[in-house]
Structure 1
Amino acid sequence: MQLDRQPPIRKALAILIASLGSATTVAAAETVELAPVEVVGTTPLPGIGLPKEQIPANVQTLSSEQLRKAGGVSLAEDLQRSLPSVNVNEIQGNPYQADVNYRGFSASPLLGTPQGLSVFLDGVRVNEPFGDVVNWDLIPQAAIASMTLVPGSNPLYGLNTLGGALAIQTKRGDTHPGGAMELYGGSFNRRGGSVEHGGKRDELSWFVAAEGMKEDGWRDRSPSEVGQLFGKLAWTKGETDLALTLGHASTDLIGNGLVPESMERQRREAIFTHPDQTKNQSTLLALSGSHWLNDNDQISGTIYTRRTRTRTLNGDGNDEYKDEFEEWADAGFPAGEGPESGVLNRTRTDQNAAGLALQWSRIAGAHQFAVGVSHDRSRAGFRQSEQGGELTGSRGIAAADDEEQVNSLLGRTRTTSVYATDTVMLAPSVHMTGSLRFNRTRVINRDRMGDALNGDFTYHKLNPALGLTWEAAPALTVYGGFSQGNRAPTPIELGCADPENACSLPNAMAADPFLDQVVTRTFELGVRGKLAGNVQWNASAFRSTNRDDILFVGTGGSLGYFTNFGRTRREGIELGLTGDSGALDWRVNYSYLEATFQSSACILAENNSTEGDGCPDDEIRVSRGDRLPGLPRHSLKLGLDWRASDALRLGADVLAYSGQYVRGNENNRHEPDGEFGGRGKLPGYAVVNVSADYRFARGWTLFGRIDNLFDKRYATAGALAENPFVGAGNAFAADPGEWRQERFVAPGTPRSAWIGVRYAWKGS
């Protein structure tokens, strides 16, 4: 099949120009009522902020009420339902462990996923230092006041801001007085609840929240439990504001991952192997403050400490089984023995991070600028052990050997940054914003079982950004800009970068070569405006190019290694339309994404039907223009809310995605044949969700939700892999010659429903 390689930028420009002309005509013909000015923060630290119309990017914001209406059990689900250009890969099969993709860049809890989004909670970066991963289960949902999604490689948000930054602000007692209690239950024996309260007395305000969820999960052997606590104490007097934040989370998650398609067809709830358990504990303590020196100058700062403890237990097939089987076969299987078929992998990761940041903001005539400095340091201790055993009839692991420690690594990271940004009014309707940030990162690895993993690496980069906004009419803004960001390799990536010594995730390691840092350059052009009847619209085109992208290349089983890969590119368009008419609120968002490799190379993919074609055995050739896996080209999101009465609200939303290539088919050429099974691409799908709120008494609301109303059977991600469970009843086949290469899938959640009650009270 011939793929369409034509970049979408020309198409996007045509759409933008057409949109510009149409909107200008409407604005000239009608008197448009202007909305209140929305001020958006432009740095992780508290600052003066800018009106949204002066920001040269398609910035998206969500309030706590919008997140509540989204109805997702996890923040990842809320982001997918509420924001354009966001899709989710449920690789782990757990809503708290999803890969969140925005414009083709990921924020994921899984080591090995190329991380390209930074996430901040009250100015504190919560990407974990060991692998830049984001643990969505550790972010307190009940405490979120608002979120801002900043697109592009904005250097002001520091490391890992390749495709965008998610800035989360939490609630305070002076801005969210009163409180609420909520209880709910339903499908999968999921039950949960939350309580929150905020208040203020004189200069002091407080906010506390607690929430919890427990469920059996819809797949076999997949119970999970989440508990979160949050508190904020703030003091405001005159021009000074101080806030002390304490957050704690403890979770126990089962993520059973991909399953062979042949098993999934037989039984939707089937899993591959078990257990697959992750336990997280995290505590955050942060002190932030700001002070107005005069009417034009503000200083702000944050100091924090953060501690995360992660324990994993994974039951896997023995990656050495094939080689060991051949050795035993050559020896004639003495005494009827054979190699062990399974292994229990355990890891302990203890991460401690601390940092401080200081910023000065100033309004000076036509200029509004900010200058800041930050320093962050972390210490991550990683231990891995293995315990050999045998696969059981239920595809669990019966341990037969003693536990053996195979790796112990201490990774330390130090990052110092200096940044500056200035927005200048060139004319009453024209604003230009320029930014610079210099990052210096040092990564030190120390092997606590020898010296093979020792390493000391230093990275530095100066990243610029330049953008322009033009308010062409009272209800029309045109914008465009360029930005650059970088990501330094993490300790786990530097500890697993040798193709001759592949690692298992999360990770056995060996002495490895140096990795280059990733550098991303983004161009964006867009228009946004407002039409009569309170209809808001936006259209934008973007292109982000990664140089030296860090990819995890699989070598079979759970093994693989990290490597730099030339160039990759994500480009596309976004179109959005929202409005309200009487009792109806509606929204339409469409995204087009072309995510491609821009370099050629041979990479390992032994389960691809084209392996060895122009490359060594077990490898495939990836060429320029081949699409990145896991990312649909088209996405469409529709939403409708109907206020049927003062007491009743009914809502519905549709999430629709086109097909995507699976992992292992990076060259987009895999086709099933007699030896290789499973297609290399997943079909598209559409899911319909409905919800309702009914206020039956003062302060009391009954709410309900049905997800996947029509019980659509779909998959959010996939991979080409080898299935050893091909015997009767999916029993393990001792002879690897009988194993079957096929497509593995991450099945989507079936139809499910929940009902709950919420009581809210107002504060003074």
Structure 2
Amino acid sequence: MQHDSRAPIRKALALFIASVGPAATAVAAETVELAPVEVVGTTPLPGIGLPKDQVPANVQTLSSQRLREAGGQSLAEDLQRSLPSVNVNEIQGNPYQADVNYRGFSASPLLGTPQGLSVFLDGVRVNEPFGDVVNWDLIPQAAIATLALVPGSNPLYGLNTLGGALAIQTKRGDTHPGGEIELYGGSFGRRGGSVEHGGKRDELSWFVAAEGMKEDGWRDRSPSEVGQLFGKLAWSTATTDLALTLAHANTDLIGNGLVPESMERQRREAIFTHPDQTKNRSTLLALSGSQWLSDNDQISGTVYVRRTRTRTLNGDGNDEYEDEFEEWADAGFPAGEGPENGVLNRTRTDQNAAGLALQWSRIAGAHQFAVGVSHDRSRASFRQSEQGGELTGNRGIEADEDEEQVNSLLGRTRTTSVYATDTVALASTVHLTGSLRFNRTRVINRDRMGDALNGDFTYRKLNPALGLTWQAAPSLTVYGGFSQGSRAPTPIELGCADPENACSLPNAMAADPFLDQVVTRTFELGVRGRIAGNMLWNATAFRSTNRDDILFVGTGGSLGFFTNFGRTRREGVELGLSGETGVLDWRVNYSYLNATFQSSACMLAENNSTEGEGGCPDDEIRVERGDRLPGLPTHSLKLGLGWRAADALRIGADLLAYSSQYVRGNENNRHEPDEDLGGRGKLGGYAIVNLNADYKLARDWTLFARVDNVFDRRYATAGALAENPFVGTGNTFEADPEGWRREQFIAPGTPRSAWIGLRYAWKGL
């Protein structure tokens, strides 16, 4: 199949130009009342900040009120509902374990997933040291004051900022005085609540929050429990600010993953195998502060320690069953026996991280600059074990062997960074921003079961950024820029990077050779403005290209290894319009994303109808330049509407609509189903509608409710081509692999569900 790589660019530019023209004309034709200036931070640490119109990127911000109105159970759901270019893959089937994709880059809790977004909580990076994963269940939602989604490969946010950075700021007693108590319950046996309180006395302020949730889950055998505790003690004067933060979380999540389409059609709540349990326990202690040295100079810094404990238990089919079956068959199945068809996989990951950062910010004439240094180090202990057993009638695992340890790895990382940024006013309406960051990362792996995984690697990179903003009119800003970011390979990738010792799974580690770090370069061009007072609009075109991207490449026989693949690209357009009209507030966001491979390779995909073609070995497919990346819809549309029906009643609705997407295993986009191979290799597009309402019963009491997926739309957010050994209407295990069905597995979306709750709020002094 031939691909015209220029066609998506022409489409993106056409959409971009079409959106800018009418809006610019409307701005020129009308006198617009100036709005208050919104100031945003430009680094993870507190600084002087820049007016948003001087930032050369489409930065999106959300307040705690906007997050509440989104109505999602988890932060991942809130981000999807509120921000353009964000979509979620619910691969685990749990709202707290979603893959969050922004402009085609991921922040995921799953080891082995290429991570492309960095996440910060009060200036502390919360991507876990082992694998750069993001555990959304460990972020204290009740304590979030604001968040900013910074697009592009901004080097100021350090490693892993390939597609963007999410900077979260938490509440304080001097900014959020008073408190509230909230209780709710509803579908899936979900019940939960939160309590928060903030106060201030003289220079001292305090804020505490606690929240918890338990549910049975809407799918079979899917209970979960989340508990979070947050506290902040701050001392502030006119020139000094100090804050001590403690965040603790303890969660027990069940996410039973993908299910064959044939099972899902029989029963919507069906799961494939079980259990699939993840237990997380995390504690963060951070001390941050800032000091004004003069009217133009500020020093700020952060010191932190963080500890995370993760335990997983997965009941799976035996990956070696087919090979073992052939051996038993050749031996004539002595005594009527056969190979074990199930296995319990366990992992134990203990991570300790600590770091410090220091920054000097200064305003000097036409310049506003910041210079900083940071050092982060971590120690991660990873253990993996297996326990053979048999699949039961309900597709659980009954272990009948002793537990056997298969991997034991100790990984240490040390990263030292120096960065600088300067925004200079070339004219009163023109601002140029330049940034640089140098990273030095050392990754040391020690194999505690031998020496195959031993390794000591050092990565260095200088990443620049340059951007320009022009305020063409009081209500019209034009901006554009270039940025470069990088990420070092994770231990999970380094542990499976040798073609001579290929792996059957990304987390089944083998020998440990060198991998190059991934480097991403992003170009962004956009305009934003205001029409008729409260109506805001924006239009942005972007292109991000990954060089030395790390992908899992097949070697034949269902094996493969991580390697520096070549290049991938994400490019597209974001269009947004929002405003208030009388008793209505509304927003419209559209995104176009063209995410493609830009290099050719053979990749493991044994259940694709084209496996073995294009010069690739059996069980592999040929991926060509222009093939679309799986799991990413091309088009997305998000509509939001709020109606103040009365002084005491507010009703809100939102619509999320996504176009089709390819599934994993169909990276070449060429799979065609036949009598032996099921599934289209593609998921259909879908649209869901959510409703929410708040009614003030009295001055301090609010009754609230929400309904998700109002029309009970049946949809899937992710998928993969795989083998299903359970056949027949009873889904019984087929002992002979020749009788297994190769079909499409999906991550089914949540059915219609509803919750109701009560909130009591009181004001502070």
What TM-score comes out, normalization by structure 2 length? 0.98
Structure 1, residues 260-279: CA drift from partner, whole Å, max 9, x if none? 00000000000000000000
- Secondary structure of 2:57's counterpart equals coil
Structure 1, residues 378-408: CA drift from partner, whole Å, max 9, x if none? 0000011110000110000000100111111
Q: What's the counterpart of residue 74 of structure 2?
A: 74
Q: Which amino acid aligns with 1:244?
A: L
- Secondary structure of 1:132's counterpart equals coil
Q: What's the counterpart of residue 392 of structure 2?
A: 392
Structure 1, residues 582-618: CA drift from partner, whole Å, max 9, x if none? 0000000000000000000111110000000021111
Deviation larger for 375-384 or 1-10? 1-10
Distance 1:185 1:555 in 2: 50
Structure 1, residues 200-245: CA drift from partner, whole Å, max 9, x if none? 0011000000000000000000000000000000001230100000
Structure 1, residues 405-445: CA drift from partner, whole Å, max 9, x if none? 11110000000000000000000100000000000000000
393 and 501 in structure 1: CA distance in 2 versus 1, 3 angstrom threshold: farther
Mapping of residues 390-429 of structure 1, within 5 Å = 390-429=390-429
Structure 1, residues 118-150: CA drift from partner, whole Å, max 9, x if none? 000000000001000000000000000000000
Q: What's the counterpart of residue 323 of structure 2?
A: 323
Q: What's the counterpart of residue 737 of structure 1?
A: 738
Q: What's the counterpart of residue 364 of structure 1?
A: 364
Distance 1:654 1:22 in 2: 25
Distance 1:427 1:51 in 2: 15
Q: What's the counterpart of residue 247 of structure 2?
A: 247
Q: What's the counterpart of residue 197 of structure 1?
A: 197
Q: What's the counterpart of residue 544 of structure 1?
A: 544
CA contact (8 A) 2:496 2:506 kept: no
Q: What's the counterpart of residue 439 of structure 2?
A: 439
- Secondary structure of 1:8's counterpart equals helix
Q: Compute the displacement of 1:93 (Å).
A: 0.3
Distance 1:661 1:252 in 2: 31
Q: Which amino acid aligns with 1:641?
A: G
Mapping of residues 238-637 of structure 1, within 5 Å = 238-503=238-503, 507-553=507-553, 561-614=561-614, 615-637=616-638
654 and 555 in structure 1: CA distance in 2 versus 1, 3 angstrom threshold: farther
Structure 1, residues 283-332: CA drift from partner, whole Å, max 9, x if none? 00000000000000000000000000000000011011000000000000
CA RMSD of aligned residues (A): 1.4
Q: What's the counterpart of residue 147 of structure 1?
A: 147
Structure 1, residues 678-699: CA drift from partner, whole Å, max 9, x if none? 1111000000001110001111
CA contact (8 A) 1:555 1:606 kept: no
Q: Compute the displacement of 1:34 (Å).
A: 1.4
Distance 2:92 2:677 in 1: 24
Distance 2:251 2:727 in 1: 35
Q: How many residues align?
A: 764
Distance 1:26 1:660 in 2: 36
Q: What's the counterpart of residue 695 of structure 2?
A: 694
Distance 1:642 1:554 in 2: 53
Distance 1:671 1:321 in 2: 27
CA contact (8 A) 1:59 1:150 kept: yes
Q: Compute the displacement of 1:663 (Å).
A: 0.1
Gaps of 5+ in 2: none
Deviation larger for 299-308 or 557-566? 557-566
177 and 560 in structure 1: CA distance in 2 versus 1, 3 angstrom threshold: farther
Q: Which amino acid aligns with 2:473?
A: A
Q: Which amino acid aligns with 2:267?
A: R
Distance 1:20 1:282 in 2: 46
- Secondary structure of 1:663's counterpart equals coil
Q: Which amino acid aligns with 1:743?
A: Q
Mapping of residues 94-113 of structure 1, within 5 Å = 94-113=94-113
Distance 1:644 1:678 in 2: 46
Q: Compute the displacement of 1:31 (Å).
A: 1.2
Q: What's the counterpart of residue 673 of structure 1?
A: 674
Q: What's the counterpart of residue 646 of structure 2?
A: 645
Q: Which amino acid aligns with 1:738?
A: G
Q: Compute the displacement of 1:24 (Å).
A: 3.7
Q: What's the counterpart of residue 35 of structure 1?
A: 35
Distance 2:319 2:130 in 1: 24
Q: What's the counterpart of residue 131 of structure 1?
A: 131
Structure 1, residues 535-573: CA drift from partner, whole Å, max 9, x if none? 100000000000111224578999754222100000000
Q: Does 2:13 match 1:13? A: yes
Q: What's the counterpart of residue 719 of structure 1?
A: 720
Distance 1:616 1:507 in 2: 23
CA contact (8 A) 1:643 1:649 kept: yes
Q: What's the counterpart of residue 169 of structure 1?
A: 169
- Secondary structure of 1:335's counterpart equals helix
Deviation larger for 672-681 or 385-394? 672-681
654 and 728 in structure 1: CA distance in 2 versus 1, 3 angstrom threshold: closer
- Secondary structure of 1:378's counterpart equals strand
Q: What's the counterpart of residue 704 of structure 1?
A: 705
Q: What's the counterpart of residue 762 of structure 2?
A: 761
- Secondary structure of 2:511's counterpart equals coil
Distance 1:657 1:60 in 2: 20
Structure 1, residues 452-501: CA drift from partner, whole Å, max 9, x if none? 11000010000000000000001000000000000001122111223454
Q: Which amino acid aligns with 2:220?
A: D
Q: Which amino acid aligns with 1:684?
A: G
Gaps of 5+ in 1: none
Deviation larger for 543-552 or 164-173? 543-552
Q: What's the counterpart of residue 749 of structure 1?
A: 750
